Amino acid sequence: METALENLSKEDLLKVISSRDQELLERDEKIDELSQERDMLKAQVDMLRRMQFGQKRERFEGDPCQTSLPFEAESADIEQQQEDIKEKIEYTRKRPNHKG
């Protein structure tokens, strides 16, 4: 090959060098594209693994500006309900003697 290159003119040598440079640039671009695609696929695989094997439940954190709803009864209400229950249990109804 060296003897073939020695026999070429300057213009031919420049064409050979430019064609090699062009091939190298194309190869580098292809390598860059493949590495970007690989990185994207790795990110997708990581996301899918998190979805598949990650935590299954969601934790809800409420907005601090929103007022809370009183779902639990107050202690006075609970005591009143317990007294009503005791009254109902203690109360016995007298039935009239009905002979039918």
Per residue in 13-35, pLDDT (tens digit) is: 889 889 999 999 999 999 999 99
Annotate 63-73 with b (16+ C-beta within 10 A) or e (fewer). Answer: eeeeeeeeeee
CB 16 within 8 A of CB 5: yes
How confident is the model at residue 26, as a pLDDT?
Answer: 95
Please state, in angstroms and rounded to a whole number, the distance separating the CA atoms of residues 17 and 22: 9
* Better-scored residue on pLDDT, 56 or 25: 25
Instruction: Please state whether 70 falls in left (phi above 0), alpha (psi between -120 and 50) or beta.
Output: beta
Please state, in angstroms and rounded to a whole number, the distance separating the CA atoms of residues 71 and 62: 15
Output the six-digit token pair for 58.
């969601």
**pTM of the full predicted structure?**
0.42
Query: In whole numbers, what is the pLDDT of the chain averaged over residues?
Result: 81
How confident is the model at residue 71, as a pLDDT?
Answer: 73
Please state, in angstroms and rounded to a whole number, the distance separating the CA atoms of residues 53 and 45: 12
* Better-scored residue on pLDDT, 93 or 80: 80
How confident is the model at residue 99, as a pLDDT?
Answer: 77
